[in-house]
Structure 1
Amino acid sequence: MSVAPALTVALGDRFARELPEMAVPWQAAETPAPRLLALDEELAAELGLDPAALRGPEGIGLLTGTLVPEGARPVAQAYSGHQFGYYNPRLGDGRALLLGELVDTAGRLRDLHLKGSGRTPFSRGGDGLAAVGPMLREHVVSRAMHALGIPTTRSLAVVATGRPVRRETLLPGAVLARVAASHLRVGSFQYARATGDDGLLRRLADHAVARHHPAAADADNRYLALFEAVVAAQASLVARWMLVGFVHGVMNTDNVTISGETIDFGPCAFMEGYDEDTWYSSVDQGGRYRYGNQPLVAEWDLARLAEALLPLLAAEQEQAVELAVEALQRFRPAYDAALLTGWRAKLGLPEGLDDDVARGVVDDLLALLRANKVDLTGFARRLSAAARGDAEPARSLVLDLAAADGWLARWRALGPDADAMDRVNPVYVPRNHLVEEALAAATAGDTAPFERLVEVVSRPFEERPGLERYAEPGPAGPYVTFCGT
């Protein structure tokens, strides 16, 4: 009988040590019958962890928070947040724990964090648990986002707990082990500001500068430079979402990271038929977080960060407001530039092409896609065949053939680079119907469809025979996602 190798891991407590007012020491709930469902072995290796050891009893204990290394100090983090526009002064990790920080093989400090690990003082009446389906959704979507080159928190593992969770029905429970540059968010700064303790706010900002935006430390106004860096990071991030049709679904201020990573894959989905008014979340009754609103919401969320930072920006509030407004006004140009740069790459447009010409080509394409509800991922990928001389695959997705032919001719005349397009336009994204199919099977005990889906979306740019169904949009009709709480 083989014995699992010993697990060696050192978890630091930098957040808890530097910001004790925002960290409540806590322990994860016991897991009656833990069973590993998913493990990202590549990520484990990046973290300096032995995948074989993670599969053993010590590893499962770490991944569920029930057996943490000596000296580790798990904490529930405090933060506030605007949820669907309404401020809640006390959110925090209601079903999560920061186990601690570790240094990966590249020398970067990373958080090891749990989701679904039981009740905490921030649970607000909830059970603090999570079900298998939503945690596996986090795993597959974060794997896809990472493979697409989009900054994201990452799922290290999902472990079934053996404990049933009561939602609409009784579901099998699970814990997600998540890795992030940190879990600092706009809501963290809102919480610190709400305490009225400018010293805490300053320590939090210094912590964020040191951890994520060290260049700000050398600026004349480090806290303004911090805000400018977060604005730039979020502008780039949201542009990347838009380029692949990703709809986050719950862009509350507690889900906007200071690092610029995507966080929380609850009610998210990938848009298929192009439409700015697309949204999927069951709890977003008015479509506040619809696809086309995402840059506007990000800007609104960043304004809340600016409000929280005002005491640090200048001694006089009027001057602080002026500085914040000026910095925030850079979001839209930065976002527009990142989006145009991304579209130039997706369309293989030559370097040196005038921005106005490129913008006109992109705008006309989006109008064509919108009018015909064309699958964004499929059309963009098929354009490389059109660049090589065969327009029919892309043309076949558009009902208005005259309009398609007109745009294709105009675009092809610019000499697009097909090989460059294939490097940025994915063949595979987590198609919504396939995600639901895989999660349903896994919840019922069959993880094979889920494992196959993860394998496919982890290599999104490489077209492979036999995977045609993974590249096709789902059946027409409404699709709804749920946050899993």
Structure 2
Amino acid sequence: MVLHIPFDNTYARLGSGFYTNQSPALVASPQLIAFNQTLAELLQVAGGDVLEMAQVFAGNQIPEGAAPLAQAYAGHQFGNFNPQLGDGRAILLGEVLGTDSRRYDIQLKGAGPTQYSRQGDGRAWLGPVLREYVVSEAMHALGIPTTRALAAVSTGETVWREGGLPGAVLTRVASSHLRVGSFQYFAARGETEALKKLTAYAIKRHYPQAQGPLGLLRAVRDAQARLIAAWMSVGFIHGVMNTDNCSISGETIDYGPCAFMDHYRAEQVFSSIDRMGRYAYANQPGIVVWNLAQLATALIQQLDNPQEAVEEATAIIHAMPSLIEVEWLRLFRRKIGLETLASGDLELISDLLQLMADENADFTNTFRALAEGNATDQFQDPKAFEPWQARWMRRRASEQNAEALMRASNPVYIPRNHRIEEMIAAAVAGDFTLFERLSAVYQDPFAEQAGAEDLRRPPEVDEVVRATFCGT
């Protein structure tokens, strides 16, 4: 069987200035680690034999119809603006139309140096590739908008970081790879016509009902507000919410130092490069508002009278915190079994979170235990939970489907940090058993699965992961 990818490339037709034509760098000995057959069917990708897929998804063989390129973009990194970033280790092969009539990018991540590599080697090592494969697919199963993983390939080469590590390439799928930084790139250069062209393209591709640049801003705001609230609802911490990692499609993108909380702490940080806690769990809503303000600043520069648009753009951004709060409250209501609205719900949820912090309770297991009727076991002092439990039981007395709602809203399994690290260590040693097991279990995170009880367990003291790394 011959691998077939039905490319239909629109971004490549935007012309010079938006990207650099770039073929992937060849690798020595590619071997296929994983191929996502379910996603392939959505993308209408017909898989070939294992050897051919390894060659294609490593970048050694360019499939017919591909238009490989590295995208140009800028971005604020930890608040500091860099006018030129771009795909430093990723090659966009092209786009396909899925069976759902949606358009998707297919990108090779770790495919070698590009014009935008900034003295990097353009490669990825096995750990970050497997992390992104497992976590992005888990996020999809959790119902959270995300890029996805089509394939993972080992390269047979050594990537040098602190030491030598096995190289790998991830095939990433996204609704697009347009970011806030894509618009900042042209705005910073005063390239108004290119900015207009990109805006029109983004509207047509993602938000065809949007009217003009401010309509696009409003649509991106709404999508990002929903996304951040969804992250919060599962205890997810992105770790590096720079504007070049903020997708205008409202998808989670770039799983570098990402992590899921075990014990609940609002100020939780894992990213080794986030030394000041800028992207801590509780800071994510504020940061996405800041990011969207940077998008607004870029978008209005294409208007004939940008100063006249400042007031409207400001109003759009200022509405974002309340949109996030409304969605956050909707999701957390569901987590405690509430579909109806009552004035004291925010206080009820906030008090539970504070109690969880005080009692060192596990975020995922506590919410799931509410559905299973044994939440008391999650607290160091069970009596501390009882007053809140009494309030909650009175509040949910009139709810008809509380238990079913909670089971559908609170996962049993998340990609716990210590399990991900255990998986990576095993894979580096040549054992992909845990990678395959985690990938399978996380496909159905809301259902209890026989033999997977150990994957619910928080880390022991000696298993706690205190820092995660971007892997570049």
Length-normalised TM-score, structure 2 = 0.96
Gaps of 5+ in 2: none
Residue 394 in structure 1 maps to residue 375 in structure 2: yes
- Aligned equivalent of 2:388: 407
- Aligned equivalent of 1:323: 312
Name which of structure 1's ranges 475-484 and 299-308 shifts more when overlaid on structure 2.
475-484
Q: What is the 5 A alignment of 1:102-181?
A: 102-181=96-175
Query: Is the 8 Å Cα contact of residues 311 and 320 (structure 1) preserved in structure 2?
Result: no
The CA deviation at 1:483 is: 0.4
Residue 207 in structure 1 maps to residue 198 in structure 2: no
- Aligned equivalent of 1:24: 20
CA deviations over 1:97-122 (Å, ceiling 9, x no partner): 11000111111110001110000010
CA deviations over 1:61-91 (Å, ceiling 9, x no partner): 3212222223421000000011111111110
CA deviations over 1:129-151 (Å, ceiling 9, x no partner): 00011100000000110000000
- Report the count of equivalent residues: 466
- Aligned equivalent of 2:328: 339
Residue 80 in structure 1 maps to residue 74 in structure 2: yes
Given the superposition, is the C-alpha separation of residues 403 and 249 from structure 1 closer, same or farther in structure 2, using an over 3 Å criterion?
same
Name which of structure 1's ranges 64-73 and 24-33 shifts more when overlaid on structure 2.
64-73
Q: What is the 5 A alignment of 1:368-383?
A: 368-383=355-370
The CA deviation at 1:318 is: 2.5
CA distance in 2, matches of 1:349, 1:115: 41
- Aligned equivalent of 1:474: 459
Q: Identity of paired residues, percent?
A: 47
CA distance in 2, matches of 1:441, 1:328: 45
The CA deviation at 1:320 is: 1.7
Query: Is the 8 Å Cα contact of residues 140 and 146 (structure 2) preserved in structure 1?
Result: yes
Query: Is the 8 Å Cα contact of residues 81 and 91 (structure 1) preserved in structure 2?
Result: yes
CA distance in 1, matches of 2:103, 2:339: 38
Q: What is the 5 A alignment of 1:244-259?
A: 244-259=234-249
> Paired residue for 1:240, among 206, 230, 233?
230
| Counterpart residue identity of residue 423, structure 1 | A
Query: Is the 8 Å Cα contact of residues 418 and 465 (structure 2) preserved in structure 1?
Result: no
| Counterpart residue identity of residue 444, structure 2 | R
> Paired residue for 1:46, among 36, 42, 45?
42
Name which of structure 1's ranges 469-478 and 157-166 shifts more when overlaid on structure 2.
469-478
Query: Is the 8 Å Cα contact of residues 179 and 247 (structure 2) preserved in structure 1?
Result: yes
CA distance in 1, matches of 2:265, 2:345: 21
CA distance in 2, matches of 1:466, 1:107: 38
The CA deviation at 1:57 is: 3.2
Query: Is the 8 Å Cα contact of residues 9 and 96 (structure 2) preserved in structure 1?
Result: no
Name which of structure 1's ranges 375-384 and 303-312 shifts more when overlaid on structure 2.
303-312
**Secondary structure at 2:296 match in 1:** helix
The CA deviation at 1:385 is: 2.0
CA distance in 2, matches of 1:378, 1:78: 42
Q: What is the 5 A alignment of 1:423-434?
A: 423-434=408-419
The CA deviation at 1:478 is: 5.2
**Secondary structure at 2:123 match in 1:** coil
- Aligned equivalent of 1:384: 371
Residue 459 in structure 1 maps to residue 452 in structure 2: no
**Secondary structure at 1:142 match in 2:** helix
CA deviations over 1:417-464 (Å, ceiling 9, x no partner): 101111111000001111100111011100001110111111100101
- Aligned equivalent of 1:445: 430
The CA deviation at 1:262 is: 0.2
CA deviations over 1:147-191 (Å, ceiling 9, x no partner): 000000001111001111001110110000000000000000000
Query: Is the 8 Å Cα contact of residues 32 and 51 (structure 2) preserved in structure 1?
Result: no
Query: Is the 8 Å Cα contact of residues 429 and 460 (structure 1) preserved in structure 2?
Result: yes
**Secondary structure at 2:17 match in 1:** helix
The CA deviation at 1:317 is: 3.1
- Aligned equivalent of 1:98: 92
Query: Is the 8 Å Cα contact of residues 379 and 394 (structure 1) preserved in structure 2?
Result: yes
The CA deviation at 1:19 is: 4.3
Length-normalised TM-score, structure 1 = 0.94
Query: Is the 8 Å Cα contact of residues 19 and 204 (structure 1) preserved in structure 2?
Result: no
CA distance in 2, matches of 1:201, 1:58: 39
The CA deviation at 1:367 is: 1.3
Given the superposition, is the C-alpha separation of residues 61 and 109 from structure 1 closer, same or farther in structure 2, using an over 3 Å criterion?
same
**Secondary structure at 1:284 match in 2:** coil
| Counterpart residue identity of residue 432, structure 1 | N
CA distance in 2, matches of 1:385, 1:133: 35
CA distance in 2, matches of 1:483, 1:309: 29
CA deviations over 1:348-405 (Å, ceiling 9, x no partner): 1142x32x2221211111111121121110000010122xxxxxx2111112333300
CA distance in 2, matches of 1:446, 1:248: 27
